[in-house]
Chains A and B, each alone.
Chain A
C-alpha cells in the first residue's frame, strides 16, 4: 500500500518559475504603485490571508473528519496534512505584515494610525482589540498554536505509517485527542484572526457573521484545491485507489458548503440592508457603488455556478465537471476575499494620502464615485500573477510535504473503510 510521491525536478522547475513570475508581478506592482504602495500591500495581504486560510481549513477538515469518525477520507488525508503544513511559511508571510505595521511600511489598517485613533470615537472604542499588540501577538500565538496542532497530527500520522497502528490504535487515539482539542480552538481563534487581518480593514465597520462567512470561503477554497490536486495526482498515475466515489463526496462538500456560504453571505447582506443603519450599510454601499461587477460576479461564481453544475449526481463523479466547478469556486473565493480586502484598504490609503497632502477630509464622503482603478475596482493581470505566484509557493510547500510520506496512510485504522467507500 506504500505509495511514494516523487517531487521531481520538472515539477520543481514549473512551480519555481511560477513563484518567480509571481515575485516579478509583485515587484512591478510595487514600483508602479502609489506613494503608499497600496496595491502591492493589499495584494500581499489578500493572498497571504487566502492561502493561510486554506491551510487552516485543511487542518480543520482533518480534525473534523477524525472527530466525526469519518472513514471515507482516509485515502486522501495526506493531501490535507500537506496543505495544513503551509501554516509554517504562512506565519512567515504574516510576520512581514506585522513588521510592516510596526515599521509603517504599509498603510493598510486605519486603526494602526495612532493620530486618527485619538480623534476617532469609533476606532478609539475598538482600540482595546484593534491595536498593534493584538495584531502581533494574537497572530503569532494563534497561528503558532495552529502550527503546533498541524505538526503533531502530521507527526503521529507519519509515525503510524512506520510503526503500525500501535497498541489499541494508540496513534489514531492521539490524533483524535489532538483533533478534539483543536476544533474549538480553531473555531474561536480563526474568528479573532480574521477580524484582525481582514475585517479591521474597514475599521469602523463590523459584522458578527463575518468570521463564519470568510471561514466558509476558506473552506471552499481548500476543498476546491483538494479536488484539483487529487485529479492532478490521479492523472499522474498516483492514488489509483481513489475512485469516483471519493470525488463524489468531495463534490458534495463543494456543493453543500457553497450553499452554506451563500446563506451566510446573504444573511449578512439582508440584515444590514433591512436594518439600514448607516455605519453598517457603508460596507455594502461602498461595494455596490464602486465594485458592482465584482459584487455580482462573486454570487455568480460562488453560488450560481456550483449550485447548478454540481446539483446532479453524475456531475460530481466526472472529472471534467469537477475540474470546472473547482476552478470556478477557487477563483470565486479568491475574488470574494479580494472584495473583502480592497475597498476598505483603498479608502484608508486615499484618506491618508489626502491627509498628507493637507486636504481636509470628511469620513462621510466615502464612497461616492471612486474612479476605476485597475487592481482595486477589478483584479488585473498583476493580481492574477501574484495569486499564481502564491499558489505555486503553496503547491511547492505541499508537494515537498507530500513527498516526505507515503500517499496512502497504510496503517490508518480507517483505511479499509476508505478503500471500500461506495456512494449511490
Chain B
C-alpha cells in the first residue's frame, strides 16, 4: 500500500540558519512535519521539542531478557538436564557462566534495538522510502511541512515563512 503525501519543503544552506528557522516556526505555531539534516545538529532536538528517545529503555529490557535467558538456560542445562563435571568444578559454576551471559546480554540488546529501530522507522528489507531531495544527505538542511489539504492561504503563509527565514529553495512535492 502506498500512501501519497503532499509536502512543502524548504532547503537551507547552513545549520545555523536552519536552527533559527525552526525556532521561528515554533514561535509562529507552524506545525513542522519533519526536519532533515546531513549530520546531527546540536540543539535541534530541543528546538523541535522532541521527546527523548525511549530506545535505550527498550535496549535495557532486551539486555535483561538476554541476561536471564543465558543464565537460566545454562543453569538448567548444567544442573538438571545434562550435568557434567568440568575440571572438578561444581555443576553450578557461576564464573564460567558469566562470559556467555554477557555475550547474550549484548546480543539481545543489540538485535532488539536494531529491530525496534527499524520497526519504528518503518524500514524493512525491500521497502523503499521516498526521499524529498537527494541533497538532504549531502549539503542541504530541510524543513518539511505537511501540505495535504492545505489551502492557498496556508501555502502562501508557509512560502513567505521560508523566504523570511532565508531558505534557498522551496518546493512542493508529492511523494
6 further interface pairs, Cβ-Cβ under 8 Å (given A270-B98, A276-B87): A266-B98, A269-B95, A274-B87, A313-B52, A313-B56, A422-B42
Question: Residues of A contacting B60 with CB < 8 Å?
Answer: 311
Question: Residues of B contacting A276 with CB < 8 Å?
Answer: 87-88
Question: Residues of A contacting B98 with CB < 8 Å?
Answer: 266, 270
Question: Could you tell me if B42 and A270 are in contact, using CB atoms closer than 8 angstroms?
Answer: no
Nearest CB of A to B41, in Å = 11
- A169 contacts chain B at the CB level, 8 A cutoff: no
Residue of B nearest to A272 (CB): B95
Residue of A nearest to B60 (CB): A311
Question: Could you tell me if B96 and A270 are in contact, using CB atoms closer than 8 angstroms?
Answer: yes
- B43 contacts chain A at the CB level, 8 A cutoff: yes
Give the CA-CA distance A270 to B88 in the complex, in Å. Answer: 15
Nearest CB of B to A399, in Å = 35
| A interface residues, how many (CB within 8 angstroms) | 10
Per-residue 0/1 for B27-57: is the Cβ within 8 Å of any A Cβ (1 yes, 0 no)?
Answer: 0000000000000001101000000100010
Nearest CB of B to A310, in Å = 13
Give the CA-CA distance A266 to B95 in the complex, in Å. Answer: 8
Give the CA-CA distance A184 to B52 in the complex, in Å. Answer: 41
Nearest CB of A to B26, in Å = 20
CB interface residues, A 266-280, toward B, < 8 Å: 266, 269-270, 273-274, 276
Question: Residues of B contacting A311 with CB < 8 Å?
Answer: 60
Question: Residues of B contacting A269 with CB < 8 Å?
Answer: 95
Question: Could you tell me if B43 and A274 are in contact, using CB atoms closer than 8 angstroms?
Answer: no
Nearest CB of B to A25, in Å = 38
CB interface residues, B 48-91, toward A, < 8 Å: 52, 56, 60, 87-89
Give the CA-CA distance A274 to B87 in the complex, in Å. Answer: 8
Nearest CB of B to A39, in Å = 32
Per-residue 0/1 for A273-289: is the Cβ within 8 Å of any B Cβ (1 yes, 0 no)?
Answer: 11010000000000000
Question: Could you tell me if A274 and B96 are in contact, using CB atoms closer than 8 angstroms?
Answer: yes
Query: What are 20 residue pairs bridging A and B, where the CB atoms are less than 8 Å apart in the complex?
Result: A266-B95, A266-B98, A269-B95, A270-B95, A270-B96, A270-B98, A270-B99, A273-B95, A274-B87, A274-B89, A274-B95, A274-B96, A276-B87, A276-B88, A311-B60, A313-B52, A313-B56, A422-B42, A422-B43, A424-B45
Nearest CB of B to A94, in Å = 36
CB interface residues, B 86-112, toward A, < 8 Å: 87-89, 95-96, 98-99
Give the CA-CA distance A311 to B42 in the complex, in Å. Answer: 22
Question: Residues of A contacting B87 with CB < 8 Å?
Answer: 274, 276
CB interface residues, A 173-202, toward B, < 8 Å: none
Give the CA-CA distance A266 to B97 in the complex, in Å. Answer: 12
Give the CA-CA distance A311 to B45 in the complex, in Å. Answer: 21
Residue of B nearest to A263 (CB): B102
Give the CA-CA distance A424 to B99 in the complex, in Å. Answer: 31
Question: Residues of B contacting A422 with CB < 8 Å?
Answer: 42-43
Residue of B nearest to A312 (CB): B56
Top-8 shortest CB links A-B: A422-B42, A270-B95, A273-B95, A266-B98, A276-B87, A269-B95, A270-B98, A274-B96
Give the CA-CA distance A269 to B98 in the complex, in Å. Answer: 12
Nearest CB of A to B15, in Å = 13
Residue of B nearest to A422 (CB): B42
Per-residue 0/1 for A247-277: is the Cβ within 8 Å of any B Cβ (1 yes, 0 no)?
Answer: 0000000000000000000100110011010
Question: Residues of B contacting A273 with CB < 8 Å?
Answer: 95
Give the CA-CA distance A240 to B42 in the complex, in Å. Answer: 21
Residue of B nearest to A271 (CB): B95
Question: Residues of A contacting B52 with CB < 8 Å?
Answer: 313
Nearest CB of A to B163, in Å = 30
Nearest CB of A to B124, in Å = 29
Question: Residues of A contacting B42 with CB < 8 Å?
Answer: 422
Most buried by A among B42, B43, B60: B42
Nearest CB of A to B86, in Å = 9
Give the CA-CA distance A273 to B89 in the complex, in Å. Answer: 9
Question: Residues of A contacting B95 with CB < 8 Å?
Answer: 266, 269-270, 273-274
Nearest CB of B to A313, in Å = 8
Give the CA-CA distance A276 to B86 in the complex, in Å. Answer: 12
Most buried by A among B45, B60, B95, B98: B95
CB interface residues, A 286-345, toward B, < 8 Å: 311, 313
Give the CA-CA distance A274 to B96 in the complex, in Å. Answer: 8
Give the CA-CA distance A313 to B95 in the complex, in Å. Answer: 30
Give the CA-CA distance A274 to B94 in the complex, in Å. Answer: 11
Nearest CB of A to B11, in Å = 25
Residue of A nearest to B57 (CB): A312
Nearest CB of A to B54, in Å = 12
Give the CA-CA distance A269 to B99 in the complex, in Å. Answer: 12
Give the CA-CA distance A311 to B87 in the complex, in Å. Answer: 37
